[in-house]
Structure formats: C-alpha cells, structure tokens
C-alpha cells in the first residue's frame, strides 16, 4: 500500500478545509436568503390574513347591494363598487394604448438618446407621489369646470398606469429573440407588421402581466381620487361628469368615522378591494397561460 507523501497530505488537508469553508459559507447564505424570504412573505401573509378575517366578518348582502345612506350610517358600498369598476375600467382603456405603444416605440423604433430620455421620464413619473398627480389633474380637469368629476379621476389613474405599462412592455420586448425579427423581415414582411405580429405577440404574456400590475395599483389609489372624483353616496352609473365613489374612498371615509358599523364596512370594502385585485391577477395569468399554449 502506497504511503502518502507530506505534500499529498497537505493538499488533502487544504482541500478538506476549503470544502468545509465552502459548505459553511453555503449554509450561511442559504440561511440569510431564507430569512430574507420570510421577511418578505410574512408581512404580506399577515396583511392578507388580517384583512380577510376582518373583511369576511363584515361582508353581507347589504354591503354589496345597497348604496350608502345620506346620513352616513348604515347602507352599503354599492356606489363604491360600481364607481371603482367604472373609473378603473376607463383608466385602463386610456392607459393601455398609450403605455403599450410607448413601450413599443422605445424598444423598436427610437434612437438610443431618445429612448434614454423617455425611459428616464417614465421612471420619474412612476416615482412621483400619486397625490401630486391628483393635484395636477385637479388643476386642469376640475378647476376649469368647477365640478369634481369621475372622468378626472379616471385620467389621474391612467397617468399612474401609463409609465408602469410602458416600462414593462419595453423590458418584455427586449427579451424577444432578435432572430424572430430577422426571420420575419427576411420574408419581406414590413417592420410595423413584424412588430405587431411577431414581437408584440411573442411578448404578450409579459405585457398582460404589466397591465395587471398597473390595474392593481390604480385600483388601490386614494389620494388622486380625493382631488378629482371626490366620492359620492349616490349610485352613479355612466355619468363621468359628476362625482363618483370608489372603494378606496369608501374605505378612507368610513375608517375615519367614530361609528363601529362604518368601521366594519371599511373592513368589508377592503376585503372586496383585495378580492378584486386577486381576480384580476387570476384572469390575466389564465389568459397568459392560454396565450403560451397557442
């Protein structure tokens, strides 16, 4: 049996120590990563659990089917539910074409200098406090008409949504392989048709995800609506020239009241808002999955 030389023994010992150090470092980093994951997930789970428990206890048929009473006590959140659906829906219709086309332009057609300028502007707009956007829209769409109105609220929400959709669309289109574009162009297909039929279609699941994120953010905004739609205890369907209620406004107003019934309604409305965002996520993800299989 061969006897290991001193050099071989030192090499084995050094290798063993290095392996132990790598193992220890790996365990430490795994622990740190797991701790960071828990730190992210636990607050989210706590918020979801608490809102669900409190909201389910306050959820009833009156909350879903009755408008708020004029005196402010009792009634339901029907006007807020319908208002959120209308204003977020109109804001989405306004924001999707602008955001998607802006993202397509920056990704496919603009020069590097203009792309940097547009990208910087969108990033700044994403970081602007939503209350400033509300004041901006209030100045141009409320003050001149001396009337709070739901259209101004929809515009404010659309302004918030556009940069999110634009940046998401741009980043998703960058992930589309260039070979697909080249193959389409080599067949003599015009650039605009290549962008619409190949590039955008390939990145459609990611674009829908960006739209979903923008809708979820807009649905929970309160500050812009305080300066624009204002809120109303009357059911307003289709009249965007008048004030309109929304779930965030309903939550804000009822949570500030000293009456327990109104506080409970605020929790119920918070659960409805959470459920709305969840439904949007599920629908868009289902559409994205269907798109991938085509």
Burial pattern 230-242, b for ≥16 Cβ within 10 A else e, equals bbbbebbeeebeb
* Assigned domain for 50 exists: no
In 3D, which of 197, 196, 199 has the Cα closest to residue 180?
A: 199
**CATH, residue 162:** 1.10.3720.10
Percent of the chain with pLDDT over 90: 60
Return d(Cα 70, Cα 234) in angstroms, integer: 8
The span from the CA of 191 to the CA of 163, in Å, is 25
pLDDT tens-digit readout, 20-37: 787 888 889 999 999 999
Which three-class secondary structure state does DSSP give residue 173?
Answer: helix
State the pLDDT at residue 70.
62
Residue 11 pLDDT grade (very low, low, confident, very high; cuts 50, 70, 90): low
Residue range(s) defining the domain that contains residue 93? 80-293
Token representation of residue 139 = 């100045």
Q: Evaluate if residue 69 carries a pLDDT over 90.
A: no
- What is the distance between the alpha carbons of residues 154 and 86, in angstroms, rounded to a whole number? 8
Q: How far apart are CA 269 and CA 77, in angstroms?
A: 7
Cβ neighbours for 263, distance < 8 A, ≥ 6 positions apart: 254, 255, 257
**Considering the domain boundaries, does residue 133 fall inside one?**
yes
Task: Tell me which of 114-118, 208-212, 283-287 is least confident.
Answer: 283-287
Report the chain's mean pLDDT, rounded to a whole number: 88
Q: Residue 67 has what DSSP assignment? A: P
Answer yes or no: is 12 within a domain: no
pLDDT > 90? residue 246 = yes
pLDDT band per the 50, 70, 90 thresholds, residue 96: very high
How many other C-beta atoms lie within 10 A of the C-beta of residue 170? 26
Q: Number of folded domains in the chain? A: 1
Rounded distance between C-alpha atoms, residue 198 and residue 193, angstroms:
8
Residue 141 domain-assigned?
yes
The answer to the question of residue 215 being in a domain is yes
Distance (Å, whole) CA 52 – CA 84: 20
Per-residue tokens: 164:
């999110």
pLDDT at 234: 87
pLDDT at 225: 96
Lowest mean pLDDT among 3-12, 51-60, 166-175: 3-12
* 47 three-class SS: helix
Residue 189 lies in a domain: yes
Does residue 20 sit within a domain?
Answer: no
Q: What is the mean pLDDT of residues 118-135?
A: 94
pTM recorded for the entire structure: 0.85
Domain membership of residue 39 (yes or no) is: no
Estimate to the nearest angstrom the gap between the alpha carbon of 241 and the chain centroid: 27
The confidence score (pLDDT) of residue 74 equals 73
């Amino acid at each position: 049996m061969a006897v290991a030389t001193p050099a071989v023994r030192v090499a084995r010992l050094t290798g063993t120590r290095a392996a132990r150090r790598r193992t220890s470092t790996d365990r430490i980093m795994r622990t740190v990563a797991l701790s960071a994951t828990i730190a992210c997930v636990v607050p989210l789970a706590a918020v979801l659990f608490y809102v669900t428990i409190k909201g389910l206890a306050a959820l009833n048929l009156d909350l879903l089917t009755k408008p708020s009473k004029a005196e402010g006590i009792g009634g339901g959140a029907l006007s807020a539910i319908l208002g959120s659906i209308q204003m977020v829906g109109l804001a989405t219709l306004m924001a999707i074409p602008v955001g998607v086309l802006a993202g397509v332009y920056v990704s496919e057609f603009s020069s590097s200098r203009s792309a940097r300028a547009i990208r910087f502007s969108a990033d700044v707009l994403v970081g602007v406090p939503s209350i400033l956007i509300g004041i901006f829209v209030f100045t141009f769409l409320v003050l001149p008409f001396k009337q709070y109105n739901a259209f101004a609220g929809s515009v404010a929400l659309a302004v918030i949504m556009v940069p999110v959709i634009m940046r998401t669309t741009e980043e998703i289109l960058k992930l589309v392989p260039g070979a697909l574009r080249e193959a389409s162009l080599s067949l003599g297909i015009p650039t605009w048709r290549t962008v619409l039929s190949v590039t955008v279609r390939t990145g459609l699941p990611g674009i829908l995800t960006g739209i979903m994120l923008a809708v979820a953010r807009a649905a929970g905004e309160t500050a812009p609506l305080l300066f624009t739609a204002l809120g109303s205890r009357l059911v307003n369907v289709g009249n965007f020239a008048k004030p309109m209620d929304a779930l965030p406004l309903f939550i804000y107003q009822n949570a500030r009241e000293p009456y327990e019934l109104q506080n409970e309604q605020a929790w119920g409305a918070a659960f409805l808002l959470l459920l709305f965002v969840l439904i949007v996520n599920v629908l868009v993800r289902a559409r994205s999955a269907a798109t991938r299989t085509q």
